[in-house]
Amino acid sequence: MTATKAQIKHLRDLHRRKEREEAGTFLVEGVRLVRDALASSSPMEGFYYTEAAAADPAVVELVTLAQKRTPDVYRLSARDMDAVSDTTTAQGVLAEFRQHHPAIDSVLRAGEEESVLVALDGVADPGNLGSIIRSADWFGVQGVFVGHQSVDLYNPKVVRSTMGSIFHLPVVPDVDLLAVLSRARAMGYTVYGADAAGEMHFDRMSFARKSVLVLGNEAWGLSDAVKGLTDVRVAIRRYGAAESLNVGVACGILLSGLHRLIE
């Protein structure tokens, strides 16, 4: 089937947060990301591809998989694909999936001996949010909480930057971070705040077996309210002259240390 003008307009609208929230869906673009999405349990609303892309056996395989999931498989012209694509060079494949908002209590692990979580306080850059989710996936984190003031989880640049990790672990978007951290502490988690002025260097401490690592905004770090709910503020030792460390890089360093130094 060929996509209608109304469908093409809908796809273009999904580049705006308001439209994504109203529809409850988001776009996944590119062969690798769409493959990861199709391998997940995420409900798919529609699949779109160009005739030129279908010359690639990998795309033919995706079309076949998509047809098993939904009857809503459509062809787009190259021009229309460019119009709805968020990338400079479109690969000719995109899909619309339902947003997934895991329950907070399904991520906070009551009674478990070991649980490592990440919480984000105002992370504003899409690439940084995607990188953090990807690092969390790499280090086996059980879940990620994205606070109200952070960039939208389903921003196309965020989705692309996760490299598929958004489909591998629970990520709870748009949460009241203060309420989540308070609940985590009540359930026996120790809350660690990443802070350049922190009182403890991460490589000189042991982390609790139930830990929440909180990372703040790229420019001003953790908010005062969130700092007030941390048990320990953790710093990464600086050896050179750089003024600051990228929050995505800091996340990877701290998660590596957290697993290595856990009690």
pLDDT at 181: 98
- 68-88, pLDDT tens digit by residue? 999 999 999 999 999 999 887
Mean per-residue pLDDT over the chain, rounded: 92
Q: Is the pLDDT of residue 242 over 90?
A: no
User: What's the average model confidence in pLDDT over 43-72?
Assistant: 94
Measured distance CA(174)–CA(129) in Å, rounded: 13
CATH topology of domain 5-98: 60s Ribosomal Protein L30; Chain: A; (3.30.1330)
Q: What are the residue boundaries of the structural domains of the chain, listed by start?
A: 5-98, 104-261
**Radius of gyration of the chain from its Cα atoms, rounded to whole angstroms:** 20
DSSP string covering 220-233: TBS-HHHHTT-SEE
pLDDT at 263: 52
pLDDT at 241: 84
pTM: 0.93
Measured distance CA(128)–CA(31) in Å, rounded: 22
DSSP 134: H
Q: Is the pLDDT of residue 126 over 70?
A: yes
| Sheet containing 171-175: order of strands | 171-175, 143-147, 115-121, 210-216, 190-194, 232-235, 200-201
pLDDT at 260: 66
Q: b/e string for 9-33 if b means 16 or more Cβ within 10 A?
A: ebbeebeeeeebeeeebbbbbbbeb
CATH topology of domain 104-261: Alpha/beta knot (3.40.1280)
